[in-house]
Amino acid sequence: MIDDYALKDPQRDYRIFFARLVFCGLIVLLLMAVLAWRYHHLQISRYADFAARSDSNRILVRPVPPPRGLIFDRNGVLLADNRPSFNLTIVTELTRDLDGLVQELQALVTISENDIDKFRKQQQRRRRPYQPVPIRIGLSQEELGVLAVNEHRLPGVQVTAEQLRHYPLGEKLAHVVGYVSRINDQEIRTLDPVRYRGTHMVGKTGLEKKYENQLLGEVGYEKVETNARGRVMRVLERVEPVPGRDLYLNLDSRLQDVAFQQLTGERGAVVVLDAVTGGVLAMVSTPSFDPNLFVSGISHSTYNALLNSPDRPLFDRVLMGQYPPGSTVKPAYGLAALQEGTVSAGYRTFDGGFYQLENDERKYRDWKRTGHGWVTLKDAISQSCDTFFYDLGFRMGIDTMAEYGRLFGLGVRSGVDMPGEAEGIMPSRAWKRGARGQAWFHGDTVNTSIGQGYTLATPMQLAVMTDRLANKGLIRKPSLLRKLIDTQLLTQPESRRIEAAEEHWAFIHQSMEEVVHHSRGTAQAIGKNIGYRMAGKTGTAQVVGMKQDEEYDVEKVAKRNRDHALFVAFAPAEDPRVAVSVIVENGEHGSSAAAPVARAVVDAYMQHFPVESLQLTDSGGALE
């Protein structure tokens, strides 16, 4: 305290202090100037930049996905519905420790490894920043509660509501209605990014795919202000989405149901056409699958099981299954022969059990080894005499047969409003040269005349053929869509006709009626106790080619190599209103396996569409 006190020089001390404090004061002034310059720089020079950044921080333009159009059957039964589903999503940009967060979430709600896999995949995909990525779909009420309680400590976690497609009738309509599913990597490249903003689903099969454009609707958007955790604080602006358009189908879910029940346990297909309008009343392919599985994301194991099942449940037999039509084509070729003068109504020939071409050893056998004896065209149809048609076909020639076959829709896509329809094959010289690079032989003509050989047709094509027979040659496309919600009933453009004399049509109708109602008709079994007249034709399609003279032995042939059973029919015979085709894979005989299915379906039709009501209420639906 007392050191050097004598030497203290207060004046000098003060001068140094004064100078230094003033110097510091100036430095402080300079620093304040630096701050002023810095804030001026941020707030004035770069104002626009930061103002924009601040807005983009808080303002998010969110797409508002439109509700997908609903699908109804002709009676207003809902076939495809939208249901709210709550999804657990994560905005990865707002999380610091994603793995930890996922673990924490797993403690709260059930999240399977499969969910996490899907989440990872989607998260790594290119997407807009701050877009929530779903990790669990379809939260239960309890889970929603648990999440609500814990949400505050789970940054980046959001529960989003989404409309999820639901198919109330499930597998009964799986192939017709199809399903929607998550947009995949390939689709994302082809779909219009503007229209699909906010939509995660796209129609993958069936009507959902065919009418995707109508069902989708137009996306709306809303400008929302969000806080730093992505939570929406308020909506600044909203443009409502335009809902997708509802589809009203010609389909009748009651008939669909009957047909589906009839085929349960079988592999097969049924197509029911409205012979008045050309509308599709039912189309069933069995076995089927639950389309709802695909909506929420099907697991790999389930999908592989469906995909690899030998019964091929995912395969739509109606449009993609191509079968030899067998004898079901006989009425069409019969009409062609009458019209072309190959045979007359009274023409008779003797069936000794087989047919032979000149200079050819090969015997073309009839299904009845003893033969049918003397047969007319009418007998040949009602008893399904092969020999008669071998002769008829050979004499008519492949060119005429092919011409008429195509007019009846064989080898031509029906044009039904569904994706992925197979074309089938109506063999001809040109076809064989193109497809096989071979010349046409007489033997080919003979095989073709009974719907075997190269001929392939889908159940839909057989139904179309039957419709054209029923309508005496009216050519039109079958149609599932009856109308859109905001349109009139669809009308078909001016149709072409298969030109043939009225008497020939009548003859063929009578012949087909005898199939069911004549005591020797191949389907006479279903003609019993029937309250109306049905015209039909049985068919049996060989799965495995038989060697010459080889006996077809049911016991020896494995189930999967047994013949397919087919049946086509229309009713009532005198005034056709419904046309049906049925195929039962490996069902062996059209008469025993397929015809009863057709009978049941047509019975149901007759019950639900009695003549009186049809004239009163359904006349508006008729295509004029």
Partner 1 sequence: MSQGDFVRRLQQPGSGVYTTASGWQKVHLDFLLFLLLAVLTAFGLFVLYSASGGSEFYVKRQAMWVAIGFVAMFITAQISPRLLARWALLPWLGGVFLLVAVIFFGTGAKGAQRWLDLGGFRFQPSEVLKIAVPLMLASYLGNRHLPPRFAHVVSALALILIPAGLVIIQPDLGTSILVAASGFFVLFLAGLPKRYLAIAATGIAVAVPMMWFYLMRDYQKQRILTLLDPQSDKLGAGWNIMQSTTAIGSGGLHGKGWMQGTQSQLDFLPESHTDFIIAVLAEEFGLMGVLLLLLLYLLVIGRGIVIGLTAQSNFGRLLAGSIILTFSIYVFVNMAMVSGILPVVGVPLPLMSYGGTSIVTLMLGFGMLMAISTEKKRGV
Asked if 16 is part of the footprint of partner 1 (rule: CB under 8 A), the reply reads yes
Select 31 or 307, whichever has its Cβ closest to partner 1.
31
Q: How far is the CB of 227 from partner 1 (least distance, A)?
A: 4
CB of 94 to partner 1, least distance (A): 8
* Stretch binding partner 1 (CB under 8 A), from 31-39, 208-216, 364-372, 543-551: 31-39
Query: Which of 21, 161, 242, 544 touches partner 1 (CB under 8 A)?
Result: 21
Q: Is 228 in the site for partner 1 (CB under 8 A)?
A: yes
Residue 363 as a binder of partner 1 (CB under 8 A): the answer is no
In angstroms, rounded to a whole number, what is the distance separating the alpha carbons of residues 425 and 411? 4
Does the protein bind partner 1 through residue 128 (CB under 8 A)? no
Binding to partner 1 by residue 406, rule CB under 8 A?
A: no
Q: Which two tokens stand for residue 580?
A: 């049906």
Minimum CB distance to partner 1 smaller for 42 or for 307? 42
Among 11, 50, 63, 392, contact with partner 1 (rule: CB under 8 A): 50
Q: Select 58 or 127, whichever has its Cβ closest to partner 1.
A: 58
61, 148, 149, 233: which one binds partner 1 (CB under 8 A): 233
Q: Which of 85, 327, 511, 591 is catalytic?
A: 327
Examine the residue annotation and report whether 327 is marked as an active-site residue of this protein.
Answer: yes
Q: How far is CA 36 from the centre of its chain?
A: 68
Does position 44 interact with partner 1 (CB under 8 A)? The reply is yes
Using CB under 8 A as the binding rule, whether residue 24 contacts partner 1 is answered as yes
From the list 34-42, 116-124, 257-265, 525-533, the region that binds partner 1 by CB under 8 A is 34-42
- Identify any residues that bridge with 541 across adjacent strands, giving them in sequence order: 564
* Stretch of 38-46, 145-153, 164-172, 356-364 lying at the interface with partner 1 (CB under 8 A): 38-46
Residue 229 near partner 1 by CB under 8 A: yes
Closest distance to partner 1 from the beta carbon of 130 (Å) = 11
Q: Which amino acid is at 70?
A: L
Closer residue to partner 1 (CB): 5 or 486: 5
Rounded to whole angstroms, the Cα distance separating 378 from 338 reads: 11
253 vs 176: CA distance, rounded Å: 11
Residues 51-70 within binding reach of partner 1 (CB under 8 A) = 51, 53-55, 57-58
The verdict on 40 binding partner 1 (CB under 8 A) reads yes
**HSE, side-chain direction, 13 A CA sphere, residue 268:** 29
CB of 134 to partner 1, least distance (A): 21
- For partner 1, which is the closer residue by CB, 12 or 547? 12
Does 227 bind partner 1 (CB under 8 A)? Our answer is yes
Structural contact between residues 462 and 564, judged by C-beta atoms closer than 8 angstroms: no
Residue with tokens 């004064």, as numbered in its chain: 18
CA torsion angle 450 453 459 464 (round to 10): -60
Residue 46 touching partner 1 (CB under 8 A): yes
Q: Does 4 bind partner 1 (CB under 8 A)?
A: yes
- If one asks whether residue 17 binds partner 1 (CB under 8 A), the answer comes out as yes
Q: Please, which residue, 51 or 161, has the CB nearer to partner 1?
A: 51
Number of H helices, E strands in the chain: 23, 22
Is the CB of 29 or the CB of 430 nearer to partner 1? Answer: 29
13 vs 117, beta carbon nearer partner 1? 13
For the four alpha carbons of 94, 96, 99 and 103, in that order, the dihedral sign comes to negative
Q: Which of residues 67-96 bind partner 1 (CB under 8 A)?
A: 93-94, 96
How many whole angstroms separate alpha carbon 316 and alpha carbon 241? 34
In whole angstroms, how close is the CB of 617 to partner 1 at the nearest point?
60
| Nearer residue to partner 1 within complex by CB, 127 or 497 | 127
The answer to whether residues 523 and 595 touch, using CB atoms and an 8 Å cutoff, is yes
d(CA 162, CA 544): 51
Q: How far apart are CA 568 and CA 468, in angstroms?
A: 12
* Beta strand residue intervals within 297-400, DSSP E: 348-351, 354-356, 363-365, 373-376
Closest among 344, 351, 345 to 369, alpha carbons compared: 351
d(CA 533, CA 608): 17
The distance of closest approach from Cβ of residue 39 to partner 1 in the complex, given in angstroms and rounded to an integer, is 5
Nearest to 380 by CA among 510, 548, 564, 532: 510
Position 226 contacts partner 1 (CB under 8 A): yes
Looking at the Cβ atoms of 50 and 374, the one nearer to partner 1 is 50
* Angstrom distance (rounded) from CA 516 to CA 591: 10
Altogether, the residues listed in the chain come to a count of 624
Residue 56 beta carbon to partner 1: minimum distance, rounded to whole angstroms: 10
5: left (phi over 0), alpha (psi -120 to 50) or beta: alpha
Measured between alpha carbons, how far is 226 from 132 in angstroms, rounded to an integer? 13
Spatial neighbors of 532 by CB under 8 A, at least 6 apart, are: 571, 572, 573, 602, 606
Class of residue 341 by CB neighbours under 10 A (exposed 0-12, middle 13-18, buried 19+) = exposed
Per CB under 8 A, contacts with partner 1 among 561-580 are none
User: Number of residues in contact with partner 1, rule: CB under 8 A?
Assistant: 49
**According to the binding rule CB under 8 A, does residue 42 interact with partner 1?**
yes
The yes or no reply on residue 240 touching partner 1 (CB under 8 A) is no
Closest approach, Cβ 296 to partner 1, in A, equals: 31
| Residue 39 contacts partner 1 per CB under 8 A | yes
Element (H, E) at 164: strand 157-166
Crossing angle of helices 502-517/459-470, nearest 10°? 120
Residue 126 CA to residue 185 CA, distance in Å, equals 10
Strand partners, 249: 481
Taking contact as CB under 8 A, which single stretch among the options 15-23, 286-294, 445-453, 506-514 is the one that binds partner 1? 15-23
Separation CA 148–CA 70 (nearest Å): 32
| Binding site residues, partner 1, CB under 8 A | 1, 3-4, 7-8, 10, 12-14, 16-18, 20-22, 24-25, 28-29, 31-32, 34-36, 38-40, 42-44, 46-47, 49-51, 53-55, 57-58, 93-94, 96, 225-229, 233
User: Which active-site residues does the annotation give?
Assistant: 327
